[in-house]
Amino acid sequence: MQAPDHSLLTELGKKLVAGSFSDANLQRATDATPDIAILPWVNVVKIGGQSIMDRGRDAVFPLVDEIIANLKRHKMILGTGAGTRARHIYSLAIELGLPVGVLTVLGTAVAWQNAQMLQYLLAKHGIAFLEPEGFASLPHYLMERGAVICQGMPPYKLWEANPAIGRIPPQRTDTGCFLIAEVYGARKMIYVKDEDGLYTADPKKDRNAKHIARISVQELLAADQDDLVVERAVLDLMLSARHIHEIQFINGLKPGQLSAALAGEPVGSIIFNAEHEQRKAS
Amino acid sequence: MNSDRSDPLHRQAGAQHVVSRLMRESLVDKAVIAGTEAPVRAILPRLNVIQIGGMSIMDRGQAAVMPLLKEIVANQDDHMQVIGVGPGVRARHILSVGLDLGLPTGALATLAAKSSAQNAYMISCLLADSGFVYLEAPFIVQLLPAMLAAARGAVFNGIPPYDLWEHPPAIGKIPPHGSDAGSYLVGEVFGARSVILLKDVDGLYTADPKNDSRAALIDDIGVAELAARKLPTLPIEPVLLDLLANAKLVKSIRIVNGLVPGNLTRALKGEPVGTLIHV
């Protein structure tokens, strides 16, 4: 066989073809490449399952009205959480001895149901639902109609990795929506829940819990809390994300919070990457 | 709990709940997570997942591929086999172009996965006459058991279907979950009997045998020990060590040289060929 002609390849390309991906030097060489943001104007908005969708009309209708009011101003990818039916099927499937990958397939169906319901409420405004396989059409729908709906789970299906402890899929709808924001280089990642954001303790159980307006992901990870406002996988991914350096948590039960967050106001709580802030400052 | 059972749609605090052990719990809470620890059942315990390397086997063409496929077919009567296939040099090329264009890791992963899909499709054509079918990810989810009952084997894309949702890695932009990770995860979720990775080296060495003549083959090593050795390069994706550390069912993988006739057969028999990496 003739020696391959690599003259069309960049210097990095030659290393990629010849080298081992496990080599940290090669990995670092790819770190120095530029990044383009594919959809820099899009906002990813995750609608909580247990916190919003399971509450039904009282919580969902005002939020839908607020989404509609923002359609002309802000482009949104609306991802849905799973909620109580996922908790039921996880319990049942764990008891039946089924593996984490199967639980992911089952949980995805619940987030999908919530996405469908949300889409029925937004359908008359021309808002489409997209499966992961249809994401190539996403820019078109966003330009035409201002928003699309998707289910929030990452499409890992049977390929979901086991958690270190327990049997619940570690990468669920918080993670799936975060990764959508990251891959498109989105303007904002907003999580709509039923609390004003982060607290020093669970405000549902502790009256002395204090609200935290802004905290770094590094500080939050170091605190190693027993409970968190977001999946731990999101915090880990924030450390290596190249586009999304802060995420915002707002109370979807309070009218106006989503609009304020979309307008760039610091409502709710913000988790930010302190390393990125330092790099920006220096 | 009795009062909960009388109202299966437990209405409380404004939300409609379905009664379950996890009802109203935070799935992020450490104690709740720890409480879900329980045994896992193997769905297909007779399954063997065999991965054909991209650069190491496929890109070598007929001389490397055909003897291996012959050996797979020779083992059909004794072993249930599904074949994952890696992407090889075309994925390296598209990563190079994609990185030059500034594309994110999720886009690179989606592109690279097409290269391994091509390789898997070629393998399925070459094994078609022996009753192997090519299954895309949705068919692995829905049809693998039926296909294995009806067909005599299956071929799948080694790269997992993470696509746009692939993780940005800790360093740089190379998608961390390649065909080693994908093949292992298929084995783990079905509770396979074995996961065998076919490469062009005899296994894992104490150093890179291509650069260091004193490099010695390691027959058998634990994941924690291997991670602690901090070898500068590995013949497998580093993420595989993290996945193995959390294994519930498939607690080892075997790396064997697919260019040496007989190695796959020995590995399928459970003989100590190549390197066993275990929990």
Res B8: pLDDT: 62
Nearest to A146 by CA among A124, A126, A119: A126
In sequence order, which residues have a C-beta less than 8 Å from that of residue A25 and are 6 or more positions away?
none
Identify the pLDDT of residue A9. 86
Report ipTM for this prediction: 0.86
Shortest alpha-carbon distance between residue A34 and chain B (Å): 5
Among B106, B10, B162, B80, residue whose Cα is nearest residue A153: B162
List the pLDDT tens digit at each of the 282 positions of chain A: 455 566 688 899 999 998 899 999 999 999 999 999 999 999 999 999 999 999 999 999 999 999 999 999 999 999 999 999 999 999 999 999 999 999 999 999 999 999 999 999 999 999 999 999 999 999 999 999 999 999 999 999 999 999 999 999 999 999 999 999 999 999 999 999 999 999 988 787 888 989 999 999 999 999 998 889 999 999 999 999 999 999 999 999 999 999 999 999 999 999 999 999 888 888
Question: Domain boundaries in chain A?
Answer: 37-198+211-281
Which helix (DSSP H) or strand (DSSP E) does residue B199 occupy? strand B194-199
d(CA B187, CA A197): 40
The rounded distance, in Å, linking the Cα atoms of A18 and A31 is: 18
Task: Compute the distance between CA of residue B245 and CA of residue B48 in angstroms, rounded to an integer.
Answer: 20
CA distance A39 to chain B (A): 12
Give contacts of B179 with chain A, Cβ < 8 Å.
none
Kindly report, as residue ranges, where domains of CATH 3.40.1160.10 are found in chain B.
Answer: 47-278
Instruction: Provide the pLDDT for residue A16.
Output: 93
Residues of A in contact with B210 (CB under 8 A): none
Q: Record the tokens describing residue A213, joined without a space.
A: 């307006």
- The answer to whether the CB atoms of B185 and A163 lie below 8 A apart is no
Q: What is the pLDDT of residue B4?
A: 45
| Domain A37-198+211-281 = CATH 3.50.50.60 | no
B18 in Cβ contact with A110 (< 8 Å) = no
Residues in chain A closer than 8 A to B138 (CB atoms): 157
Q: Give burial (CB, 10 Å; 0-12/13-18/19+) of B77.
A: exposed
48-87 of A, contacting B, C-beta below 8 A: 50-51, 54-56, 58-59, 84-85, 87
Q: What residues in A contact B243, CB-CB < 8 Å?
A: 161-162
| Chain A residues inside the 8 Å CB shell of B170 | 239-240
Joined tokens for residue A85: 């039916």
Check whether domain B47-278 has CATH 3.40.1160.10, yes or no: yes
pLDDT of residue B210: 77
Q: Taking CB atoms and an 8 Å cutoff, what residues of chain A touch B169?
A: 27, 240
Using CA coordinates, name the residue in chain A closest to B90.
Answer: A17
Task: Specify the pairing of strand B15-18 against strand B9-12.
Answer: antiparallel
> What gap in Å lies between CA B197 and CA B83, rounded to an integer?
10
Alpha-carbon gap: A13 to the closest alpha carbon of chain B (Å): 5
Mean pLDDT by 10 residues, chain B (279 residues): 52 74 87 92 96 96 96 96 96 94 96 95 95 92 87 93 97 97 98 97 89 91 95 93 97 98 98 97
Q: Does A185 touch chain B (CB under 8 A)?
A: yes
Of B41, B141, B161, the CB nearest to A97: B41
Angstrom distance (rounded) from CA A21 to CA A192: 38
Query: A141 with A130: CB under 8 angstroms?
Result: yes
Provide, as residue numbers in chain B, all residues whose Cβ is less than 8 Å from the Cβ of A27.
169, 171-172, 174
Alpha-carbon torsion A235, A239, A244, A247, what sign? positive
Contacts of A202 (CB under 8 A, 6+ apart): A209, A227, B26
Q: What is the pLDDT at residue B165?
A: 98
CA distance B58 to B52: 7
Count of CB atoms situated within 10 Å of the CB of A114: 27
Sign of the dihedral through C-alpha B60, B61, B66, B71:
positive
Q: Distance (Å) from the C-alpha of residue B60 to the closest C-alpha of chain A?
A: 10
- CB distance B38–A159 less than 8 Å? no
pLDDT value for A43:
98
Q: Could you say which residues from 149 to 168 on chain A have a Cβ atom under 8 Å away from some Cβ of chain B?
A: 154-168
At residue B2, the pLDDT reads 40
What's the confidence (pLDDT) of residue A6? 60
Q: What percent of chain A has pLDDT over 70?
A: 98
pTM of the predicted model, to two decimals?
A: 0.91
